[in-house]
Amino acid sequence: MVEKKNLVLISVLIGMLMSAIDTTIVIIALPTISSSLNAPFLDTIWVILIYLLVLASFTTLFGRFGDIIGRGRIFNAGFLIFILGSGLAGASPNVFFLIGSRVLQGFGAVMIQANSSAIVADFFEPHERGRAFGITTMGWNIGGVLGILLGGLITTYIGWRYIFYINVPVGLIGFYFSMKYIKDKKTKKVGIDYIGNTLMVSILLLISYGGVEIAGSGLTLLNIMLIVAGLLLIIPFIYVENHVKDPLIVMKAFRVRVLSFSLIASLLQAIGYLSVLFILIMYLQGVRGFSPLDSSLLLVPGYIVSSLIAPRMGRVADRRGAGLIATLGIAIMDMGILVYLLLGVTTPLYFVVMGSLISGFGAAMFWPSNNSAVMSGAPRDIYGSISGLLRMLSNIGTLMSYVIAISIASLSVSRYVAFQVFLGSYHLSGNISSKFVVGIHAALISSFVILILAAVFSFVRGKNRHEIEQAQKN
């Protein structure tokens, strides 16, 4: 008989897989959507960006709601909202209706993602969490690349509307499992920090929107002001969180170095690693002339390796300690970037596959072990808040990766061309192609440095309670 906690894990896996797919499934379909709905390209790009913006801005909020209302309730409701948003997106009569539907999809995904790590931590003991997080990592990895593959296949052979309709049956399966097996053991009867919630959402929306606008229109006074305003709001947010009765984020929890440093490592790793993915897609499409679907196929081996190895690496982290395994994982990811730095206009494509395999192996070491370290360092009564914060940092990393990739690419070509290259509808040639490779190398070096910083925080984070207990037993 399958243990209940493993059925819970299946529910979380489906939720992570579904929400991850929809971060990338729209990319290939975007030119077709723009043509079908007679929408300007710069309006249509928001079909991708609005989803990322919602994920980046509201994850911590719904993680906290999970602590108060019940993680299972929020998680289960997320499936229904995601299904509704997907159905509406598929039936969209115009691009603005589609963008609005993607907002609804995003809120459903946020509710699922924000509480996923907390639910795993609720049902699994500390010595089991590495394996469990390895399995959820597998779902996230598969979802990212599966989104691109499904987006290409469905758009080509069935129609773009079905990239959204496909979520309905998958979501219903996930909802069935989650309703049946994920029950709230108890909820926390506390008030809601309305001021802190408002400030947090404002901070993330201002910074995220400013970053997206930099990618779209470059550095302008307005974009800089948006980001600065968001950063300045951090000061009153910290003050409020230290003085209200029931804060959104319990600031004293961050005095635990293993928690705070693990979260910082998570953010830096997401920015550095995902930037590489976007940069590679632009290289393969813009310089080598591959379609988005063919480009993603070259990156599949790394994702397969990562997905297969992640559960095993989670078990190793349970025994050897999260800090060591996570830090080694980042170091291996940097080795993959060194391989990518050899790429040129005519470099053999096996270098791309080789770099993908190396990076995928490193990612499989980092994600489950770092997630386990975060949740082991968090007080149980704020698991939802910390789970939401962890996912928020990853989502911000995704958004910032996109900003870095587009911004650096546009140093050598116009922004419009950079967008077209990103979507696979424009192939560079001649001298422009060589210049673009120089820009790609600069972006890869920036990712290399960001990952080194992530490795430093990962290395000096210290040990969590479980690791100390394991060391004493040995």
Using alpha carbons, select from 160, 148, 55 the residue that is nearest to residue 396. 55
DSSP one-letter string for 263-312:
HHHHHHHHHHHHHHHHHHHHIIIIIS---HHHHHHHHHHHHHHHHHHHHH
- pLDDT, position 348: 94
Q: Are 137 and 114 in contact (CB under 8 A)?
A: no
The confidence score (pLDDT) of residue 108 equals 94
**Amino acid symbol at 261:** F
The shares of helix, strand and coil residues in the chain, as percent rounded to the nearest 5, are 85, 0, 15
pLDDT of residue 330: 94
Q: CA 240, 246, 247, 250: dihedral to nearest 10 degrees?
A: 120
| Residue 466 confidence (pLDDT) | 53
Helix (H, G, I), strand (E, B) or coil at 440: helix
Domains of the chain listed by start with CATH number: 4-192+246-473 (1.20.1250.20), 193-245 (no CATH)
Q: What is the mean pLDDT of each run of 10 residues along the chain (474 residues)?
A: 73 83 78 85 80 82 83 90 95 95 93 85 78 72 73 81 90 88 68 81 83 75 90 91 80 79 89 83 84 78 80 77 86 95 92 92 86 77 74 78 75 75 74 84 90 93 58 45
Structure confidence at residue 461 (pLDDT): 82
Calpha distance 171→157 (Å, rounded): 22
Q: What was the pLDDT predicted at 1?
A: 40
Give the pTM: 0.80
Predicted local distance difference test score (pLDDT) of residue 2? 52
Return the half-sphere exposure (C-beta side, CA atoms, 13 A cut-off) of residue 426: 16
The angle formed by the CA atoms of residues 51, 31 and 223, to the nearest 5 degrees, is: 50
The predicted pLDDT at position 188 comes to 61
Instruction: Say how many C-beta atoms besides its own lie within 10 A of residue 198's C-beta.
Output: 15
Report pLDDT for 468: 44
* pLDDT attached to residue 26: 82
How far, in Å, CA of 163 to CA of 179, rounded?
25
Residue with tokens 């968001």: 230
